[in-house]
Amino acid sequence: MKKLFLFLIATSISVASFAQTSWKIDPMHSFVNFSVKHMGISFVDGSFKKFDGTVTASKPDLTDAKISFTVDVNSITTGVDMRDGHLKTDDFFNVATYPTMKFESTSFKKLSGNNYELSGKLTIRDVTKDVKFAVVYGGTAKDQQGNTKAGFGATTTINRLDYNIKYDPTGAGVAKDVAIKLNLEFVQGK
């Protein structure tokens, strides 16, 4: 009986150590921002206000993390209504046909310390491309309600023309490269 009890405890510990942990985006403490050069002399910054994301991992260092993220493209804002309206047309995102952008991870490699490389597939409009994000893991903490939260910062640069963004293909007015910066906070599932 004692051996059976010890076996059950050992099995429970083994299963618990390999159990997956799920995290869901905390939209009140997360930001999806971008910046693009304008006329070669300044930058236009913008953001998306509606998005959703999940992280699932079983390893404490998150190297087996599966990350999924979607952005409601209609929630784009640059602070200028006329420009935001133009960005929603077929010249740019064509939100009527392609209302969401999607990212699915293929790997999450720990580089050193809290630095990671996130690889995955980014879909904008009807194009899916491989992208890599430089990620800084901020760690975890408990909030005032006892929820465990994890923080990440992620950056990458994409060429907008790779995603069938048609406007200004020369890049003279709106640069081809778009810098993306994500500040994300996730809540651990219970």
CATH number for the domain spanning 40: value is 2.40.128.110
CA dihedral 137, 187, 65, 72 (to 10 degrees): -100
From CA 142, how far away is CA 106, in angstroms rounded? 29
Q: What is the pTM of this model?
A: 0.86
pLDDT at 66: 96
pLDDT at 175: 96
Cβ atoms of 184 and 143 closer than 8 Å = no
Residue 166 lies in a domain: yes
Cα dist. 71→93, 137, 156 in Å?
A: 12, 21, 16
Q: Which residue range is the domain that position 88 belongs to?
A: 21-188
Residue 76 lies in a domain: yes
pLDDT at 4: 39
pLDDT at 14: 37
Residue 1 lies in a domain: no
Residue 49 lies in a domain: yes
SS3 of residue 106 by DSSP: strand
Residue 2 lies in a domain: no
Residue 84 lies in a domain: yes
Residue 124 lies in a domain: yes
Residue 115 lies in a domain: yes
Count of domains in the chain?
Answer: 1
**Helical residues (DSSP H) of 62-118, grouped into ranges:** 81-87
- Encoded amino acid at 19, one letter: A
| Residues of the chain with confidence (pLDDT) below 50 | 1-18
From CA 55, how far away is CA 99, in angstroms rounded? 22
